[in-house]
Structure 1
Amino acid sequence: MSSVLDALDESQRTAAEILRGPVAVLAGAGAGKTRVITHRIAHGVDEGAYTPNRVLALTFTTKAAGELRGRLRAMGVVGVQARTFHAAALSQLNYFWPTVAGDTAPSIIDNKVRALAHAADSLRLRPDTNTLRDVAAQIEWRKVTMRSIEEYATLGRSVGQISAAALADLMAAYEKLKDERRQLDFEDVLLACAGMIESEPRVAVAVREQYRHFTVDEYQDVSALQNRLLELWLGERRDICVVGDPSQTIYSFAGAEARHLLDFGRRYPDARIVRLERNYRSAPEVLGVANALMRDRPGALTLAPSPTAPAAAAPPTVTAFPDDEAEARAVASRIRELLDGGAAASEIAVLYRSHAQSAALQQALAASGVPAQVLGGRRFFDLPEVRQAVMAIRAAAVAPTDESFADQVRDVLRGLGHTDDAPEAGGALRDAWEARQAILRLAGEQTEGATMRGFADALLARAQDQHEPEMRTVTLATLHAAKGLEWPHVFLIGMSEGFLPISYAQGLEAIDEERRLAYVGITRAERSLSLSWARSSGRYERSASRFLAEIGTGTLRSGDASASAAARRG
């Protein structure tokens, strides 16, 4: 057996050994799905079953694609195409368009909301920016669900003050504007690529000759349009491996449909189905909460702790607070205790349903001297202070010096205003300091003999792969942004009706989506999990989330009443 499989457990190895034909890997949270994907591809290359440049591994984020490429490189596999659906489609579109249309491919629209505003002007409509954003979201949903404007109009949807009829007219005006400007939007890239393969046999032959083996990560999140494009890439071939978890389908609002994963065995009756239910991330007590929440849900996997599962730092708890401010102060106080007890700030996350819940938290954490950063803002390498630092390091690489590499980097950062002592927690100054400090730590991790030029190149490679350094701050994140991440200590706040499930979630399907969001949040925790909610917003009374009742008291204990009292006292 190939040594590349030695690091896998029995179920993971079973999945990685299936190199031909359709296979679906149902991988629970923390079950090592990325490990399986990379080891399966590496095993196929080792066995001679795969030629690296004929393997297409599809992901949903550029960061995930970069991580796949990085892991494969570390295993000695170079040349595998790990891309997002959009990146793969855009590459094909740019390559084949001149041959098919005799002209360069249209440009990609850089701001859908601005274009929509121009289209609205042509109709003498004056919607505000937030309304235009909602219209843009409806356009995206219409396209990924493969509906025409006429089909969408029959749904009778309106956005704000824009009626269903006016909305259809605005969509048509937007498409006309793009055509006049020779522009495509993000979703058009997939539609145009699919249309080109369907209508041009020579394009279909060329694409299918290039890519012979397909792997799709997070398959529960594919839309109807992405799945159609995947089918066109495949043609009549059947070498496809899909990996996903129905319990982590949290993008239905964007067109994701878990049915593609759940019905995989029906579409491919001879498909091999492998279940990965051994969790390598979380303590058994945390898994108990997750399993209780998803008990008897369609497609739910039952997570079992691995032999190497971390020990729980404390039993999972649920605590009720009198109001939002008290909840925020108590969470900040508990985080301060963890930090004083030796935990690193980067090991702690506070998760919530919507961004609006972070304001009180940021205030309370800053008052406690706790450094925190909201996830989902600008990417690390797009931050102005980081871009400035990378440029300065590249410039310093050409200047001769007798200083050591580490001293050179430190001097460059000091020249940009970096100090040894951190500013007070909270605010832009602290955020900039943390970003520069992360670059300094990266410099300290370089091998002996590192040079400024080599370090600058390494930073640029990291930026391309979105391989961001660890920030030594507490993470604040929405549940959507937290997917795919993990922390030893997780606080999940706002477990009340109206927040989770959110107030506009109506009907069984929408509530199920909210339950899956809660599941994603719970399964981010490794060693400790603290759930909490506030009885009042100051104006309105709240009740505990129905999900707390579904979990039950068998896996959760009541939080410390003294902490609640302390929070009330402020």
Structure 2
Amino acid sequence: MEKSTSGFENKPFGASSARVPRAEIAKAHAERGHSTKGVGGQQGELDAAYFHRLEQSGIRLNAAQIAAVRCTEGPLLTLAGAGSGKTSTLVCRTGYLLDVRGVEPSGILLLTFSSKAAAEMRERIAGLPGISEYDAGRIQARTFHSFCLWLLFSQGMQKEIFGDTRRQHIQLQQIMRELSLQDAYPPENLLALLSSYKVNLMKAEQLPESSEADRQMKRILLRYESWKQEHDRIDFDDVLTNAHALLKERPDLLERLRRRFSHLMIDEFQDTNLLQYEVVKMIAAPRNNLMVVGDDDQTIYSFNGARSEFILEFEKLYPKARVITLDINYRSVPSIVGLGNEVIRHNKMRRDKTLRAAHNGAVLPAYMRPDSADDEAGQVIAFIQREVNAGRREYGDFAILYRSSSTNRAVLEQLVMKDIPHIDYGDGRLLYEHWLVKPVLDHMRLSINRRDFDAMASVLPTLYIARDKGLTHIQTTDAARPKKGPLVHLLTLPGLKDFQLEKIRQRLEMIRSLKGLVPAAAITQIRKSFYDAYIQAGEHSEQTSHREMLKEMLDELETSAGRFDSIVSFLAFVDDMLLRNQQTAAAKSQAQGNRVALMTIHKSKGLEFPAVFLIGASEGTLPHSSALGADSLRDTRVGLEGEASYTEALEEERRLAYVAVTRAKEQLFVSSPALQRGKKAAVSRFLLSAFGQDTTASDAAARAEHGNRRSGPDPTRFGKVRTGRYGSSNASSNAGSSPSGGSAAAAGRTQSVPVWMCTAGSCVAWTRIMHSKDMAAAHKPCPLCGSAMKKGRKDVPV
């Protein structure tokens, strides 16, 4: 009998169909003796003996896996669905080449994308019956970068690898200072831009110059490239580009590699970029004994240059290629496999395949519709604690997955506060530690302690004043003439123009005005006064997915602050969280152990867990707002001809949802908060469409909203929120028209705010709470009818 988990539903909120998707049950392995059919003569005897030894050692393959193992000549595309045993297929095929086909171990090149995967391959090959450890060690099982580095070193390259990300960031920041572009661009975005060109066989000299921002970034990156050359250093992208150039320049070297490597195998082929694929094609030709293993439904790294068309168009390049589909999922119960099938089948640009399940099981995926991210976090962590306390699960059985790193704020806070062992596979930082968020918090710190010099150092760059120079002047001047608010000493900083002095005066006044506001209102004031304009200053304000991420983080900060009555209490909470997180960070390692795992969906690919929580499965988060507005985002596919279309971006988001679902082995929990960062959010269309619901109308509406929102400045940040002092309790009644003359779609957006509401049933009055003294009051009479009012929250139009 089918059963759900207590406290959750068997289908997403709003799903019209009661049918629960389930995958067909398949035979997990081929019938005994099947593996010995189809090959005759002496070769057949070797073949039969090999598969017999595999079965005796406990390795039983299904019919499709056996076919892929036996296909050793010519190009082969193996479509490996989620959990379908691709590693076993690659390992057993390697053994088959050695044991049955007599291929020299040194003639096999097996490329993958992580050192861990390469090490696992080598270990499992060495464990095959009949394969000696010596022969296994002669196989070239490497990552792409390791192979290209081996190639460069073999030809006498002696350059230092400049691979430390932190050092790369410091060097780019130094270059920006030299060009008088202090902190103009985040180093990680500059590196991503440069990488996108290199992996698509273009050089920094080909970077665009269509705007001042383009020209500035090109100058920075050209200087960065020159610096590396002057100091005999190369980064990881250079390893690939230099190896590719070497093979183009040295036909003799390429020919030696072709003679040596008679058989090539590529794991995770869907993650391959153009540069990597070109290297593979060059070495494989002309024999083209090339096996590629991948799943176009798991192509989720387009921002790193991965292209699903390499799988979709494989036969165009290799007309004689054979295609074998591994369609039996050995990881998950039928209901999870079935949900994955129904999620992904709505993509148009994909190979047609439907996975079957090897295992049975009655537990269904469970869905919840919490009020907000904080409500979601509370329910998720409470469930995990109950399961662990009851002895049904260990902490290490659980993974919490999310679309973007800012989505983990609430759940990470809950884990830290409740001292639940966990490991964050991101950068390990809380929202409050991010470079974007810290200046906002430090303006609030200055409002309650005007002599906080650490906070002053943080806010100086937002006034376009060099941090060291400005702080030295403040401290030196204050030592001679102490002030209650030392930031005022900036008015005597030499060399400032009149407009700069006026900006400083405005900032000083703004900081003083924050003290009486509730934290969320204070953050809104900071953003509206200058911070959003500072982040999106000048020609850097073109709409990009990076800008979307910055806005998302600041919105999340406002949401967090909305729980507190005063700036003092909010900052006390932030400091407590920072201290707790610092204490737990010391014990972190890369091994999960018995700890709850937190990671983005991107990080989870290739992993599996007994129980998975997918949080934030709501419109605007999954699919992400950057995908819903992909047509107007400038950096969606930097370095390629044109930009990603809305359809392409949305299909990649659906692939992300598919990857998240298929990480779960036994239990899957999906949460779709009704409010995301104070705004209403519908259940993800990917879930609803999996239950047979037509999402065309909601898709068109969402696309229209995001298109309108990007046609000008964001009204929630640069326009005044005009809710009036009193309003109808039915906030949605104003959704048809914009109070500032904007579009109906923009006016229909809402945010959650603290309010006083009249308790009289016949009165609809409410008033917004903006000041801490108002929040602290215990009672308030209704200004319309005189009845008592109570505190609450209300969704109001933006």
TM-score (norm 2): 0.55
Rg (Cα) greater in structure: 2
1:500 to 622, 627, 634: 622
Partner of 1:84: 143
Matched, 1:148 2:203: yes
Check the 8 A contact 1:434/1:472 in 2, yes or no: no
Query: Structure 1: which 5+ residue stretches go unaligned?
Result: 99-103, 379-425, 436-467, 555-567
Matched, 1:18 2:71: yes
**Separation of aligned partners in 2, 1:368 and 1:116:** 40
Matched, 1:134 2:189: yes
The correspondence of residues 166-205 of structure 1 with structure 2, limited to 5 A, is 166-205=216-255
Partner of 2:173: 117
Deviations 1:55-114 (A, max 9, x none): 11101111111111111122233321111111100111011135xxxxx34543543222
Partner of 1:305: 356
**Separation of aligned partners in 2, 1:16 and 1:206:** 27
**Separation of aligned partners in 1, 2:418 and 2:583:** 17
Partner of 2:272: 222
Residue type of the alignment partner of 1:45: L
Specify whether residues 38 and 547 from structure 1 end up closer, same or farther in structure 2 by C-alpha distance, changes over 3 A only. Answer: same
Deviations 1:532-559 (A, max 9, x none): 12122463222222212221269xxxxx
Specify whether residues 229 and 346 from structure 1 end up closer, same or farther in structure 2 by C-alpha distance, changes over 3 A only. Answer: same
- Alpha-carbon shift at residue 291 of structure 1 (Å): 0.9
Specify whether residues 232 and 513 from structure 1 end up closer, same or farther in structure 2 by C-alpha distance, changes over 3 A only. Answer: same
Specify whether residues 107 and 27 from structure 1 end up closer, same or farther in structure 2 by C-alpha distance, changes over 3 A only. Answer: closer
- Alpha-carbon shift at residue 248 of structure 1 (Å): 0.2
Specify whether residues 82 and 429 from structure 1 end up closer, same or farther in structure 2 by C-alpha distance, changes over 3 A only. Answer: same
**Separation of aligned partners in 2, 1:173 and 1:310:** 59
2:648 to 509, 516, 519: 509
**Separation of aligned partners in 2, 1:232 and 1:373:** 41
- Alpha-carbon shift at residue 334 of structure 1 (Å): 1.4
Check the 8 A contact 1:109/1:183 in 2, yes or no: no
**Separation of aligned partners in 2, 1:272 and 1:109:** 39
Specify whether residues 286 and 135 from structure 1 end up closer, same or farther in structure 2 by C-alpha distance, changes over 3 A only. Answer: same
**Separation of aligned partners in 1, 2:162 and 2:186:** 22
SS in structure 2 of the partner of residue 490 of structure 1: strand
**Separation of aligned partners in 2, 1:545 and 1:337:** 27
Indicate the larger mover: 10-19 or 201-210: 201-210
Residue type of the alignment partner of 1:483: K
Partner of 2:300: 250
The correspondence of residues 379-418 of structure 1 with structure 2, limited to 5 A, is none
Check the 8 A contact 1:496/1:544 in 2, yes or no: yes
- Alpha-carbon shift at residue 28 of structure 1 (Å): 0.3
Residue type of the alignment partner of 1:28: G
Residue type of the alignment partner of 1:67: E
Specify whether residues 114 and 432 from structure 1 end up closer, same or farther in structure 2 by C-alpha distance, changes over 3 A only. Answer: closer
SS in structure 2 of the partner of residue 163 of structure 1: helix
Check the 8 A contact 2:296/2:350 in 1, yes or no: yes
Indicate the larger mover: 534-543 or 228-237: 534-543
Partner of 1:291: 341
Q: How many percent of aligned residue pairs carry the same amino acid?
A: 32
Residue type of the alignment partner of 1:511: L
**Separation of aligned partners in 2, 1:200 and 1:355:** 44
1:484 to 593, 606, 615: 606
Residue type of the alignment partner of 2:369: A
Check the 8 A contact 1:194/1:232 in 2, yes or no: no
**Separation of aligned partners in 2, 1:25 and 1:300:** 12
Check the 8 A contact 1:282/1:305 in 2, yes or no: no
Check the 8 A contact 1:94/1:105 in 2, yes or no: no
**Separation of aligned partners in 2, 1:365 and 1:131:** 30
Indicate the larger mover: 339-348 or 55-64: 339-348
The correspondence of residues 432-451 of structure 1 with structure 2, limited to 5 A, is none
**Separation of aligned partners in 1, 2:585 and 2:187:** 31
Partner of 1:534: 673
- Alpha-carbon shift at residue 5 of structure 1 (Å): 5.0
2:375 to 318, 326, 331: 326
Aligned residues between the structures: 463
Residue type of the alignment partner of 1:197: L
2:81 to 7, 28, 37: 28
Specify whether residues 170 and 497 from structure 1 end up closer, same or farther in structure 2 by C-alpha distance, changes over 3 A only. Answer: same
Indicate the larger mover: 82-91 or 107-116: 107-116
TM-score (norm 1): 0.77
Specify whether residues 231 and 370 from structure 1 end up closer, same or farther in structure 2 by C-alpha distance, changes over 3 A only. Answer: same
Residue type of the alignment partner of 2:147: A
Deviations 1:157-211 (A, max 9, x none): x7xxx61122222222222222111221211111111111111122212322332
Specify whether residues 296 and 369 from structure 1 end up closer, same or farther in structure 2 by C-alpha distance, changes over 3 A only. Answer: same
Matched, 1:277 2:399: no
Specify whether residues 430 and 118 from structure 1 end up closer, same or farther in structure 2 by C-alpha distance, changes over 3 A only. Answer: closer
The correspondence of residues 442-481 of structure 1 with structure 2, limited to 5 A, is 471-481=593-603
Indicate the larger mover: 508-517 or 292-301: 292-301
**Separation of aligned partners in 2, 1:43 and 1:68:** 14
Check the 8 A contact 2:312/2:351 in 1, yes or no: no
- Alpha-carbon shift at residue 376 of structure 1 (Å): 4.3
Matched, 1:522 2:575: no
- Alpha-carbon shift at residue 470 of structure 1 (Å): 5.2
Partner of 1:546: 685
Residue type of the alignment partner of 2:231: R
- Alpha-carbon shift at residue 222 of structure 1 (Å): 0.6
- Alpha-carbon shift at residue 367 of structure 1 (Å): 4.8
Residue type of the alignment partner of 1:113: H
Check the 8 A contact 1:373/1:474 in 2, yes or no: yes
**Separation of aligned partners in 2, 1:39 and 1:338:** 39
Residue type of the alignment partner of 1:514: E
Check the 8 A contact 1:119/1:177 in 2, yes or no: no
Residue type of the alignment partner of 1:89: C
Specify whether residues 246 and 206 from structure 1 end up closer, same or farther in structure 2 by C-alpha distance, changes over 3 A only. Answer: same
Partner of 1:349: 399
Residue type of the alignment partner of 1:149: A
**Separation of aligned partners in 1, 2:90 and 2:113:** 14
Specify whether residues 537 and 295 from structure 1 end up closer, same or farther in structure 2 by C-alpha distance, changes over 3 A only. Answer: closer
Residue type of the alignment partner of 1:278: I
Check the 8 A contact 1:28/1:301 in 2, yes or no: no
Query: Structure 2: which 5+ residue stretches go unaligned?
Result: 1-47, 429-579, 631-645, 694-791, 793-798
Query: What is the alpha-carbon root mean square deviation over aligned residues?
Result: 2.3
Work out which structure has the larger RCO, using CA pairs closer than 8 Å and 6 or more positions apart in sequence. 1
**Separation of aligned partners in 1, 2:673 and 2:415:** 18
Check the 8 A contact 1:372/1:474 in 2, yes or no: yes
- Alpha-carbon shift at residue 150 of structure 1 (Å): 4.6
- Alpha-carbon shift at residue 432 of structure 1 (Å): 5.8
- Alpha-carbon shift at residue 364 of structure 1 (Å): 2.2
- Alpha-carbon shift at residue 496 of structure 1 (Å): 1.1
The correspondence of residues 201-216 of structure 1 with structure 2, limited to 5 A, is 201-216=251-266
Partner of 1:410: none
**Separation of aligned partners in 2, 1:64 and 1:119:** 37
SS in structure 2 of the partner of residue 534 of structure 1: coil
Deviations 1:258-313 (A, max 9, x none): 11111111211111110011111111111121111111423245443344x1524x
**Separation of aligned partners in 2, 1:323 and 1:133:** 31
